[in-house]
Amino acid sequence: MGRLVQICLVLSVALAASAQKAKPNVLFVMADDMGWDDWSSHGSRQVLTPNLDSLAGSGVLLHRYYTHALCSPARSAVLTGRYSHTIGMQGRPLLHGEARGIPTTERLLPQYLKELGYRTQLVGKWHVGHAYRNQLPINRGFENHYGARTGFMDYYEYNSQEAWASGPVSGLSLFRDYKPDFEAEGYITDLYNEEAKHIIRSHNTSEPLFLMVTHHAPHNGNEDASLQAPPEEVRAQRHVELHPRRIFAAMVKKLDDSVGDMVATLKEQGMLENTIIVFVADNGAPTVGNGANSGSNYPLRGVKGSPWEGGIRVDALVWAGPEVAEGNDWRGNIFQGKMHASDWLPTLLEAIGEKPPAGIDGIPQWKHILENQPTRQEIFEIDDFTGYSSITLGRHKLIVGTVNAAYNLHRGGDLRGIIGQPPNYQQAVLNSKAYAAITAAGVPIDVEHLEENKEKATVTCGEGVAKECIPTADKWCLYDIIDDPCEYRDLSDSLPGLAEVLRFRLAQEEERVVPRTDKNDPIGSERAMPKNFNYTWETFMDLEPYTA
């Protein structure tokens, strides 16, 4: 009898311990239009990101992380676990007067987490639908949202100006839930940072927190003031040769500082040890074209809005506290497996001990990342609206269709100029808030190892152009992106059989495309006019115009 009592006691203690183990917090940070060469973990000596590098150096740098080529599609993939072309969100980002958005039939990541007991908060840019109230974040799983509904805005005035046929149209885009924020003051990156820190400090730690922070930085603002940063921050980047690039570097610096502040606040509140942190860029930088911001994807080919590597292969890392993932063997790794934006939903569910849903495109990769075992083979980028498609299968990539001619080139090499001596990298890391917080949490960071990882993560492309290719509907371009990551050498003529196989598989995927449901007609646009709603970008399909 005594033996039975002992067994029961052991089991009850084990069950109690299991029940008491809190689900990890999740901090998901997204940068906007930040390029491959805009992160010092990829080798840049010009743009330093010591807080992000501290996370990558003590977590995992996702070296082959892919996304969609444009903003709204990329955000849709993260939130739904689906390729954007399967839910009608592919192609050009949402315009301010569109009624389109992520279908309300789709369950979003915050909805899954909320049902699992998470407090869910969004700070920053939304840009996946705001014409109807049921498209807003607080009706899609987030308890609160402070930020912009539209794709861009002035960093100090918070108005978003869009060019319409009738002329420029401008309105306030900064909202707290349903209410426009007319009282806000300051630089928008700082506002978002303070809001995020307030959420962390006021959080009841008996419940898990999902905090998504989608910064505008370093996206351009409105056309009349496209690059904006505090003057003292711009002066601190005087080692950057070209002045627009100098402002851009200051915008990235403010973003990186915000990440450090959030990490430090998590440590201050005793939450960091049980937190997963994700950082990603939404798409490649627009070095040229709409919204050009002096960002650089060098040496990768192409820019935002293209299926080239420079448009879809972007900065990403994942970090976990010691209570989430045991041991240090995985820390500081460079994960060479492919990962896609649609993988985050199932990956985060797997990371918190839950079963991912069936029937989505995303693949759970948490265990694969920690064990450094690649699993994903295919990546699709399909934009029937613009007219291009690509498939990456294994080491080969095929591009079909028409890409904007300016987007086909290798850009950014002329932006790398340095005047004098840039700041000391190792000292910048040692002085960063993220470094202090992470090491205080018992996670080691070897600064020498960070330097080694920078070299390993630097993409080199070789000399010259062996065989140029410009894709069309009839001309396919084929690359070995392991040996030729910068897509210089077209293999379609030498490997025609492989090109046919990839084109066949791509055609199969194209059959899954759900057409866009654009409603950007003149009536819809007129109804969305900010002047109808006290000069704000309101939920125009649900509300009647305001009257004096």
**What is the rounded CA–CA span in Å between residue 387 and residue 473?**
8
Measured CA angle at 251 (ends 245, 252), to 5 deg: 90
Residue pointed to by tokens 């910068």: 486
Is the torsion defined by CA of 106, 78, 304, 163 positive or negative? positive
**What is the rounded CA–CA span in Å between residue 203 and residue 213?**
15
Give SS3 for 511: coil
- Cis ω for the linkage preceding 299 (within 30 of 0): yes
Q: Are 295 and 52 in contact (CB under 8 A)?
A: no
Is the torsion defined by CA of 351, 352, 357, 361 positive or negative? negative
Would you name the residues annotated as active-site residues? 71, 127
Nearest CA to 352 out of 189, 159, 208 is that of 208
Helices within 89-186 (DSSP H only): 109-115
Q: Are 249 and 228 in contact (CB under 8 A)?
A: no
- Cis ω for the linkage preceding 322 (within 30 of 0): no
Residue 3, token pair as written in the block: 């033996």
Residue pointed to by tokens 């492309």: 461
**What is the rounded CA–CA span in Å between residue 76 and residue 88?**
10
**What is the rounded CA–CA span in Å between residue 264 and residue 432?**
10
Instruction: Report the DSSP pairing between strands 25-31 and 209-214.
Output: parallel
